[in-house]
Structure 1
Amino acid sequence: MANAKVQLSRLMAVHYQHPNLDAIEKFLVDFGLVVVKREETKTYYRGFGPETYVYIAEKSPDDRKHFVGGILAVESAEDLHRAAKFPGASSIHDAHSLSGGQQVVLTDPVGMKVTLVHGAKTRPASAVKEEAPAPILINSGTVRSRRTLHTFERGPSKVANCGHYGLRVDSSKFEESVDWYMDTFNLRLSSCLKLANGKPAFMFMHINKGKEFVDHHTIFLSRAMKPLPEATPHHCSFECDSFDTQQLGHDWLLQKGWTNCYGIGRHKYGNHIFDYWFDASGNIIEHYTDGDLVNCDTPPTYEEVQPDSIKIWGPSIPLAFFTGRPEDAVKPQSSGPALTSLDHVIRDGIKPPSAQAEPVA
């Protein structure tokens, strides 16, 4: 029953563990996030939006990078009590973070944590208004409303909030994981990309809030094309205020010597303008802007994966977008039509013969 689901309100933040907190801080500041608080083993970051934090960087317990999970607000205290009854759920306890409130931690079928928070405080509206960039008016061929000279400052992108994150899941656990997320929460399918055999490969899900319009996806799951011992993140994504500051941030990150994974381009599913980067630990992290909004009246889309499934426009798909390895960032995936090799992978369910890589969403 829909009423038995835990009602999510929004994605607040993501939580990663890094071997070197100083190195990841350098990257995240260049990326456009602001340090809020440093603790002995954790650093909190925010954007200019209302959340008190949008990213937790924690010292890794070993020399490896780890994705701990997403942190999402729920609609009511009742939702926390409902979540606490799920198998393996934590008890309800104080959220020892900048936002306060109480929380319950769930574990999904592939071992990823989902932290649910109620009563989280947000930043004062006056502070958000003071930091938010002024809206950019665009003069087009038919609408010419800007009457002032436009000036921009070079620097990091203006990041507002955490928009979505995605996981790569072993094929044997994929359907179970999709069912768990959609049965546990008020998540609704926005778009599904299918394999040639009809099985879903990529599932993009949004928070269903009825008539209220929300982002095209908050969580997505992708099916790994080879055995995957444990689920891994593909990327987390942060919304910029405009295409201009996203491009300025792209140039800034290049100037600072960071490795671009893929972008700038426009996705087909969600329609947002994307720009993917490798952080200091080798995780993929995205800037995006101008994404689609959906509500309960928006029908989900279903499509078989095609060579142009990932993008509407943009550069050739790099090998790094599939392997998740920074050393592959400068190698083109194909000299032909975009995603020719991915189409081969999806059709045959095998790794590209030249790249020996698996596709990711």
Structure 2
Amino acid sequence: MNGHHDVHSGLHSEQGALQGEHPGRMRDPVVKVLDLAWLEFEKPDLQRAEVFAHAFGFTTALRTADELQLRGTDPGSPCVLIRRGTRSRFAGPAFRAADSADLLRLAGATGPRPMPLPESLGGMSVNLTDPSGLRVRVVADTYDLPALPVQEPHILNVGHAPARVNGTQRPPRVPARVQRLGHVVVQTTKYRETLDWYLRYLGLIVSDFLYYPGQRQRGPVMSFIRCDRGGTPADHHTLALTLGPSNRYVHSAYQVSDLDALAAGGEFLREQGYHRSWGIGRHIQGSQIFDYWRDPDGFMVEHFSDGDMFDNSLEPGWAPMSASGLAQWGPPATKDFLGISPGRESLRELRAIVGALREDNEFDLSRLRGLLKVANS
């Protein structure tokens, strides 16, 4: 023993649930979705949105007077659909089903019939509403865009076996090329009901639970949820749900090739005058190297690289939630990232707290105390 204390020890438990706690999955779900397909937004200024998107690393797949489709370099559907609207808002996620038979099975269990998607996307969709009121599409048989040229990872000299000899390292300060959509995080006042809905109807499974310190007996307040692809690894989380005083979008994340692409791309964004919310660092749950930015409409978006991949054999981890426990290394979580910096967003959340405490939902006074303790940790 050398007396060294790991400040992160105990933040992620590999032991799984205690007796009687949530198992993190449902037996015999209706379907098992394969991945996120895309995210949908409404914004009043599509030109401004496209300028930021290109600086962030997206490529335009389609542009009309009323719609913008943004893609990464991976083959498949666009990552983001933005339609012209009178105000900026998150319209909801779309998940990819294995095939159209899954859509019929889902329709039989929930009621809505499969409907054709617009010609630019192809395929069919079942449109659902989760318990927090968010529209959720489940799609199948959509068109696949071909792959685009990729941003190659840099060759690294690691340890004592150099892979790069007589060559320098000069990552260009250009936009990081987004490869694909990774995950979306949403807040809900009905956390447990919403969690169980995604597990039951979409077959998602939990990778990690977080609970408020001193409140584990009341159950978790956040879950990082992945797709169940059997023995095929999936992202540590495709969807993350967190309890809060309002139902809202928190952030979405997009994979880039490596740390150099993420860091140099961040310098490019900074030079263009965009606002970094938090970063660069490495998360604990999911292990991603991260860098968070605000787009001109205030939506938080993340570049990430080197995330965990789990198959369905791994049981959920359990850990206390804390601001300091969000990263293994990196700067402290900012007030902007935590949603407590002075401004319109924090004022909306403050009003939401007052409203939520008056309503019948899971966000009560005890949960508010837990949230405030996390924000001040």
TM range (shorter): 0.7 to 0.9
Residue 208 of structure 2 aligns to a residue in which SS?
strand
Pairing 1:76–2:99 present: yes
Residue 227 of structure 2 corresponds to 207
> Normalization by structure 2: what TM-score?
0.81
Amino acid at match of 2:222: F
Residue 169 of structure 1 corresponds to 188
How far the C-alpha of 1:11 sits from its partner, in A, is 1.2
Alignment of 1:104-253 (within 5 A): 104-124=126-146, 127-128=147-148, 131-147=149-165, 148-170=167-189, 173-195=190-212, 196-198=214-216, 199-224=219-244, 227-228=245-246, 231-253=247-269
Residue 309 of structure 1 aligns to a residue in which SS?
helix
Size of the aligned set, in residue pairs, is: 326
> Normalization by structure 1: what TM-score?
0.84
Question: Structure 1, residues 277-334: CA drift from partner, whole Å, max 9, x if none?
Answer: 11110011111011011112223100112453201111121111121769599xxxxx
Aligned-partner Cα distance in 1 for 2:181–2:199: 21
Amino acid at match of 2:198: Y
Pairing 1:302–2:318 present: yes
Question: Structure 1, residues 212-234: CA drift from partner, whole Å, max 9, x if none?
Answer: 1111000010111xx32xx1010
The alignment's C-alpha RMSD in Å is: 2.2
Residue 28 of structure 1 aligns to a residue in which SS?
helix
How far the C-alpha of 1:197 sits from its partner, in A, is 1.2
Residue 324 of structure 2 aligns to a residue in which SS?
coil
Is the 8 Å Cα contact of residues 320 and 327 (structure 1) preserved in structure 2?
no
Aligned-partner Cα distance in 1 for 2:230–2:371: 40
Aligned-partner Cα distance in 1 for 2:99–2:341: 40
Is the 8 Å Cα contact of residues 12 and 72 (structure 1) preserved in structure 2?
yes
Pick closer, same or farther for the CA change 1:326–1:348 going to 2, 3 Å. Answer: closer
Residue 333 of structure 1 corresponds to none
Aligned-partner Cα distance in 2 for 1:325–1:68: 25
Residue 96 of structure 1 corresponds to 118
Aligned-partner Cα distance in 1 for 2:161–2:135: 47
Q: Which runs of 5+ in 2 are unaligned?
A: 1-25, 346-365
Residue 82 of structure 1 aligns to a residue in which SS?
helix
Question: Structure 1, residues 180-232: CA drift from partner, whole Å, max 9, x if none?
Answer: 011111211100111121121210000011111111000010111xx32xx10
User: What fraction of aligned residue pairs are identical, expressed as a percent?
Assistant: 27
Aligned-partner Cα distance in 1 for 2:92–2:69: 15
How far the C-alpha of 1:93 sits from its partner, in A, is 1.6
Q: Which runs of 5+ in 1 are unaligned?
A: 330-344, 353-357
How far the C-alpha of 1:249 sits from its partner, in A, is 0.9
Residue 342 of structure 1 corresponds to none
Aligned-partner Cα distance in 2 for 1:67–1:274: 22
Amino acid at match of 1:269: Q
Aligned-partner Cα distance in 2 for 1:270–1:256: 29
Aligned-partner Cα distance in 2 for 1:95–1:311: 39
Amino acid at match of 1:136: H
How far the C-alpha of 1:100 sits from its partner, in A, is 1.1
Question: Structure 1, residues 101-127: CA drift from partner, whole Å, max 9, x if none?
Answer: 111111101111111111122233xx4
Aligned-partner Cα distance in 2 for 1:327–1:189: 33
Aligned-partner Cα distance in 1 for 2:128–2:161: 49
Question: Structure 1, residues 142-165: CA drift from partner, whole Å, max 9, x if none?
Answer: 442234444432211111000000
Aligned-partner Cα distance in 2 for 1:97–1:44: 13
Hey, which of these two has a bigger chunk of strand by percent? 1
Residue 362 of structure 2 corresponds to none
**Structure possessing the higher relative contact order (Cα contacts under 8 Å, 6 or more residues apart):** 2
